[in-house]
Amino acid sequence: MGIFVLLGLALLSAAGPLGMDMFMPSLPQIAVDYSTTAPMAQLGITFFMLGMGLGQVFIGPLSDERGRRKLLISGMILAVAASIVCAVAPTIEVFIAGRLLQGIAGGVGVVLARAIVGDRVSGARAAKAYAVMMTVVGVAPVIAPLIGAAVAGVFHWRAVFWLLVIIAVAQLLVALRLPESLPPDQRAGTGVAGTFRNMGGLLTVRPFVANLVVFGLGFGAMFSFISGSSVVLQQQLGLSAGMYSVVFAINASALIVTNIIGGRLAGRVSSQRLQAVGVTLVALGALSLGIVTLTDPAVVPVVASTFVLTSGTALCMVHSTAIAQGMATGRQGAASALLGASQFAVGSLVSPLVAVGDNKLASMAIVMAVCAAGAVVGKLVSFTSRSASAD
């Protein structure tokens, strides 16, 4: 698979972090401008994540039957329209509705980019391809808050969404240039209902479900930081919007560093082992944050803990994807949909939970700990399932 194709797929996969992180520094101002509460403004996160999940659940299996390209182009057209809605929304309700549509469109890009890789490569080559994509995608949460804070500071938070309109147009151009990766003779041929039954069939495969749990809850642990970081770091720990963006970028750089290292190790170290390392780092990061929360909360130890956790999440996501897609030959779209659904369903639950209570850092630490514990259980189930199969 050519590097330019991978970069194009990475841009499509970046819909999530771009749509999330670029407007994060503006959350307090959005709440003020709409004369609403911080939890209400954070519904812009929740509904975006819900949309990402819905877009992936429906479009992934459908693409196994109908092909990838036309659905991808349609999704990117919706991304342009939804970003415009968010930019001009007169009320918080319209804004949240626009975020839902933006999430659905982003879900289309993410699920089909993952499926297209699965169509073309497998095994260690797939792990390396996903690592390259995730490395590029990892740049998005590093630069997006910086760009978002700068644009909102110079202009207004609505200008951030006009910038997202431009990015959506670029994603549409990529979709128009990509060839179809699933020709008619390789499609499911079971009808639309049959493709959804294929997706349900994957849920009866215990190792696949275990990897799904590791993927979704590993992401959930990291996303609890993403969704709560603005309030925790700015309001609770006293950082300015500019410093928040810098600290957030430092934390997000863990995705880039870990994926570069993981990509080099793919083929020499198995995806199962690299996934296990990822789960261990997630658990250690969550444990560290819990200790910090109970002792002396400060910016440096909080960010150090979440840096470790984010590094683990990067390994979990890349290698859970490679493992799960390898179990789903002929059902890459359905497998991609389930991976995405687990990720963004967990994300839509995590965001409001982090906002509960007066001590947002404590809420974030508790949600992280629960997600990390679940990821550990998922990895243990995956390990025992493989051992039983070997016997």
For 329-341, write each residue's pLDDT tens digit: 667 778 888 887 7
Q: What are phi and psi of 95, to 5 degrees?
A: -60, -45
Asked if 313 and 233 sit in the same domain, the reply is: yes
Asked if 296 and 273 sit in the same domain, the reply is: yes
Q: How far, in Å, CA of 45 to CA of 131, rounded?
A: 26
Residue 44 belongs to some domain of the structure: yes
Asked if 101 and 6 sit in the same domain, the reply is: yes
Which distant-in-sequence residues (6+ apart) come within 8 Å of 213 by Cβ? 342, 374, 375, 377, 378, 381
Which distant-in-sequence residues (6+ apart) come within 8 Å of 248 by Cβ? 21, 24, 141, 145, 229, 233
And the tokens for 286? 């969550």
Q: Is the pLDDT of residue 286 over 70?
A: yes
Domain C-terminal end among 187, 215, 234:
187
pLDDT, greater one: 132 or 389? 132
Question: What is the pLDDT, as a whole number, of residue 389?
Answer: 41
Global confidence as pTM:
0.75
Asked if 144 and 203 sit in the same domain, the reply is: no
**Which amino acid appears at position 321 of this protein?**
T
- Tell me the pLDDT tens digit for each residue of 342-351: 877 787 788 7
Most confident of 38-42, 48-52, 125-129, 218-222: 218-222
- Tell me the pLDDT tens digit for each residue of 298-320: 888 888 898 999 999 888 888 88
Q: Is the pLDDT of residue 194 over 60?
A: yes
| Confidence tier at 192 by pLDDT (50, 70, 90) | low
Domain C-terminal end among 187, 217, 243:
187
Q: Is the pLDDT of residue 386 over 60?
A: no
DSSP state of 215: H
Residue 192 belongs to some domain of the structure: no
Can you give the CATH number for the domain in which 227 is found?
1.20.1250.20
Asked if 222 and 258 sit in the same domain, the reply is: yes
Residue 290 belongs to some domain of the structure: yes
Asked if 348 and 230 sit in the same domain, the reply is: yes
Give the residue carrying structure tokens 């990390």.
Answer: 372
Domain C-terminal end among 161, 187, 213:
187
Asked if 127 and 104 sit in the same domain, the reply is: yes
Residue 266: strand, helix, or coil: strand
Asked if 7 and 101 sit in the same domain, the reply is: yes
Asked if 99 and 223 sit in the same domain, the reply is: no
Q: Is the pLDDT of residue 12 over 60?
A: yes
Q: Is the pLDDT of residue 188 over 70?
A: no
Q: Is the pLDDT of residue 226 over 90?
A: no
Q: Is the pLDDT of residue 263 over 80?
A: no
What average pLDDT does the segment 169-184 reach?
A: 84
Residue 335 belongs to some domain of the structure: yes
**Domain around 227:** 197-390
**Which amino acid appears at position 96 of this protein?**
I
What average pLDDT does the segment 168-188 reach?
A: 81
Residue 22 belongs to some domain of the structure: yes
Question: What is the pLDDT, as a whole number, of residue 189?
Answer: 61
Asked if 114 and 218 sit in the same domain, the reply is: no
Question: What is the pLDDT, as a whole number, of residue 388?
Answer: 44
| Confidence tier at 370 by pLDDT (50, 70, 90) | very high
Question: What is the pLDDT, as a whole number, of residue 360?
Answer: 82
Question: What is the pLDDT, as a whole number, of residue 2?
Answer: 67
When mean pLDDT is compared across 72-86, 180-194, 276-290, the lowest value belongs to: 180-194
Q: Is the pLDDT of residue 390 over 50?
A: no
- Residues of the chain with pLDDT > 70, as a percent, come to 93
State the average pLDDT for the chain. 82
What average pLDDT does the segment 78-84 reach?
A: 93
When mean pLDDT is compared across 72-76, 93-97, 258-262, 366-370, the lowest value belongs to: 258-262
Asked if 254 and 318 sit in the same domain, the reply is: yes
Which distant-in-sequence residues (6+ apart) come within 8 Å of 259 by Cβ? 131, 132, 134, 135, 138, 314, 318
Q: Is the pLDDT of residue 283 over 90?
A: yes
Residue 316 belongs to some domain of the structure: yes
Question: What is the pLDDT, as a whole number, of residue 84?
Answer: 94
Q: Is the pLDDT of residue 81 over 80?
A: yes
Asked if 165 and 262 sit in the same domain, the reply is: no
Within the chain, where are the H helices?
3-13, 15-21, 27-33, 38-41, 43-66, 69-88, 92-120, 123-154, 157-177, 191-202, 206-229, 241-265, 271-294, 299-326, 332-354, 360-390
Residue 384 belongs to some domain of the structure: yes
Domains identified in the chain, total number: 2
Residue 263 belongs to some domain of the structure: yes
Most confident of 25-29, 97-101, 327-331: 97-101
What average pLDDT does the segment 130-158 reach?
A: 80
